[in-house]
Chain A
Amino acid sequence: MSFQIKETPDSYDVIIVGSGAGGGMASKILSEAGLSVAVVEAGGDFDPAKDEDRTQLRPPWESPRRGAGTRIRPFGDFDQAIGGWDIDGEPYTRKDGTQFDWFRSRMVGGRTNHWGRISLRFGPNDFKRASIDGMGHDWPIGYDDLKPYYDKVDKLIGVFGSKEGIFNEPDGFFLPPPKPRLHELIIKKGADKANIPMIPGRLSMLTRPINNERGVCFFCAQCNRACQAYADFSAGTCLVHPAMKKGKVDLYTYSMVRKVTTDETGKATGVSFVSKVDMKEYKLKSRVVVLGASACESSRILMNSRSKVYPNGIGADSGVLGRYLHDSTGADRMGIMPELIDRDRYNEDGVGGMHMYTPWWLDNKKLDFARGYHIEYWGGMGQPAYGTGGSMDSMRKYLKDEFGNPSPNGGYGEGLKKDIRRIYGSTLGMSGRGESIPQYTNYCEIDPNVVDKYGIPVLRFHYKWTDQEIKQAKHMQDTFEEILTNAGATLLGTKPGADTMYGLAAPGRIIHEVGTTRMGNDPKASVVNSNCQVHDCKNVFVVDAGPFVSQADKNPTWTILALSWRTSDYIVDQLKQKNI
């Protein structure tokens, strides 16, 4: 991690807060248009191609904790994402006994360093849900508005997949998908019996090169560690660093933005930030401010941007700043496949994610809940590391000797060692990731009593699932059991019931939170317009997932990228026309 602190230059055309999917894309498009750009990032910079920053291909014995997670790397010691659910000195709070867990990554590329790289376009229905089921609200734009940008994102960044012709799962410009893994083929037998489709995954890894700057995937399954060949998408390697090489882009690292500064007319003049290196306050000036700090962090910055003109913060007069916060639903189930015990060995790492998945396949008119979910599958002969050989106190009984007698749970010795080898690669499972209904009553706001270590007021969350999401989770559990049982798997654990909301993950846990600066045509019901421009402060834009009116049963990243590109084009146009 390198430090980079600069003396404040005169002024930039654009300041971008955050360097993840939204901010990264904006830095590329705006700098390519010839604009001078400052990217202000709360964490450090890194380059996975440099050995000092590389975690890819490091075996677990290079880690004294053998790859176990830590507070700032909860997904493992070699995970590239630095931050986590609980960042020292950067608290958040919750209200009325409700739960919301907030995952943040403090580094160039933001949470694109963490994500599963599942790259799904929203479909035509996903922009018009209220018209279909009467719940929530429609987006002011539709699929046709974003399609050209999805096309460009596919070609710029790269995604593998298969053309399927499914109406609400639009096809794109796909690279060749990898062949399935064994557990995926076995699960597919179960899915086929239940008439549930399984198609090749759509992930942003380069199975073939798309240009001469980035390499191709060499199948180590470690995209979450950042690729030294740049063969997967993260905003640092694919957007921010290329933009810095080509254009007028300055990167400010370890810089925590406090607020957007404004003049007496209400026009934004730049940002004020705290340097984490010297703990001093700095001001940067610009003609345009672009917020891409993540849905909640961007709304926090807007709320904290108080002044005479904006006594409650920028965008607050809409009455919906911070409101309609919503995350994807999530539930999982696991099984053990008897036919995979004692399986043959080969290198099954593959790409860093599933080779096959299930897009939403049912008609909600025939169901007791409103929105759909997709299914992600997992299993296989993954890298042995921290956790391997665990749970034999309850799992060993699934191993049978040549006479069909089950091994006793627990134990020790050569027999235990052999049983761990036999069971390796035989567990598998699936996760549902679904669409929730955005609620006015689910929100983040400024906690009046708590500040972070930079003296910046922090967010307080209030979030409750509704019957819609709970019923959807119940449907997921029924589906998971059907697929696993059909495939011949033995179910593990007990089926989550009503007492646990059918295993529905706590809000925030799927890390798809969106909606806090939602877009719309009515300035009294939306924070930004259909070009992601703040209604009451025309030279401030939001390019993360805050403007999402509804989060489809897709991962949000591809839509963040497409929207950010579209917003960036609009900014260039508006600057040319001298409207901002």
Chain B
Amino acid sequence: MNRRENLKLLFTGSVGAGLLLTGCEPEQVAVQGQVITGGTPGGRTEEEKARDAKLLSENFFTDEEKKKLSTLVDIIMPADSESPSATELKVPDFIEFMMKDQPNMQTPMRGGLMWLDFEADELFGKKFIDLSKEEVIQIVDLVAWPDKATEAYSGGVRWFNMLRNLTCSGYFSTEAGWKYMGYMGNQANVWDGVPQKVLDKHGVSNPEKYAAIYLKPEERGKVAEWDEQGNLIG
């Protein structure tokens, strides 16, 4: 990378900051197709490429398991006025991949999905996928609240914790998840400290002692020079 290219990056930084302001408008709903088409890009080893391709070509969940999973992830992360549902963000596909990527999760996940049918039969004499929304919630409530659940359901609670964690991972690691969270980073920019109104709100300030030496954004293009004592002079 030469200086001209770096200047381009600097320039991108300022453009990015400009976009950032308009990017906050509520009408911009960032629901993008989160379709996984290949493995992770960027500097992969041959072994990594082969492994990702293999995992992506395999199926772990059965169709019925996937149906159950889709019901559950949309209960955990439903659509609301600000954001889409977990299935709209393809969270089940992400969980499917993670089962193969971290196989130690397979047995507890499959076991949890099987338990749903057992419990549905006990309570309602039906299969889980045939339950009404209210009936599904009755079962979910048995395991979704760790501090209230009875000891008999402790295994189910552990499974649902795992499912909740995976669903949230899959949800907030998307463009729509970032937007909902209000994450503004991952782009070229110039850090010039916490915004003043935020400092004021929390009653803190940048240490006065270092005011003279903190990076000044306008000097970011100047090649550094020092005197013999190590003082920055240029």
Contact = CB atoms under 8 A, between A and B. Distances in A.
A404 interface: no
Interface string B155-199: 001001100110011111111011011111111111111110111
**Contact residues of B: prevailing secondary structure:** loop
A347 interface: yes
A306 to B, nearest CB: 32
Interface residues of B, number: 98
Contacts of B191: 178-179, 219, 347, 349-351
Nearest to B24: A345
A507 B1 CA distance: 39
B187 A408 contact: no
A77 interface: yes
Given A65-B97, A179-B192, A209-B222, A388 B164 contact: no
Q: Counting chain B CB atoms within 10 Å of each CB, which of A65, A68, A189, A343 scores highest?
A: A65
Nearest to B216: A176
A171 interface: yes
Nearest to B174: A61
Nearest to B175: A61
Given A68-B101, A385-B173, A410 B55 contact: no
A173 to B, nearest CB: 5
B220 A393 contact: no
Given A346-B184, A417-B83, A72 B199 contact: no
Contacts of A214: 1
Contacts, number: 302
Nearest to A226: B43
Contact of A417 (B5, B77, B189, B224): B77
B34 to A, nearest CB: 6
Nearest to A176: B215
A124 interface: no
**Contact residues of A: prevailing secondary structure:** loop
B135 interface: no
B54 to A, nearest CB: 12
Interface stretch (B62-70, B107-115, B124-132, B144-152): B144-152
Nearest to B89: A61
Contacts of B56: 64
A347 B191 CA distance: 8
Contact of A171 (B165, B170, B197, B230): B230
Q: Counting chain B CB atoms within 10 Å of each CB, which of A162, A211, A221, A347 scores highest?
A: A347
B222 A59 contact: no
Contacts of A66: 94, 169-170, 173
A413 B83 CA distance: 12
Nearest to B143: A410
Interface in A163-216: 163, 171-182, 185-186, 188-189, 200, 207-216
B139 interface: no
Interface string A383-426: 11111111111100100000000001111111011001100100
B206 interface: yes
A406 B114 CA distance: 33
Contacts of B94: 64, 66
The 8 closest A-B pairs by CB, nearest first: A389-B168, A215-B6, A179-B193, A349-B185, A66-B173, A345-B182, A60-B173, A218-B188
28 contacts: A64-B56, A65-B40, A68-B101, A88-B47, A158-B224, A162-B210, A163-B230, A176-B215, A176-B216, A176-B232, A207-B215, A210-B223, A210-B224, A212-B223, A215-B3, A216-B221, A218-B9, A220-B186, A339-B202, A349-B185, A349-B186, A388-B169, A388-B172, A390-B165, A393-B164, A408-B145, A412-B164, A413-B76
Interface of A: 1, 44, 46, 48-49, 52-55, 57-68, 70, 72, 77-78, 80, 82, 88, 151, 154-155, 158, 160, 162-163, 171-182, 185-186, 188-189, 200, 207-216, 218-221, 226, 228-231, 339, 343-351, 381-394, 397, 408-414, 416-417, 420-421, 424
Given A200-B213, A229-B1, A392-B165, 18 more contacts: A59-B186, A60-B174, A64-B40, A64-B94, A66-B169, A72-B45, A72-B47, A162-B213, A176-B215, A182-B198, A209-B6, A215-B3, A218-B10, A347-B189, A347-B191, A383-B183, A388-B169, A414-B80
Interface of B: 1-3, 5-6, 9-10, 12-13, 20, 32, 34, 36, 39-48, 52, 55-56, 75-78, 80, 83, 94, 97-98, 101-102, 140, 144-148, 157, 160-161, 164-165, 168-175, 177-178, 180-195, 197-199, 201-202, 204-207, 210, 213-216, 219-224, 226, 230-232
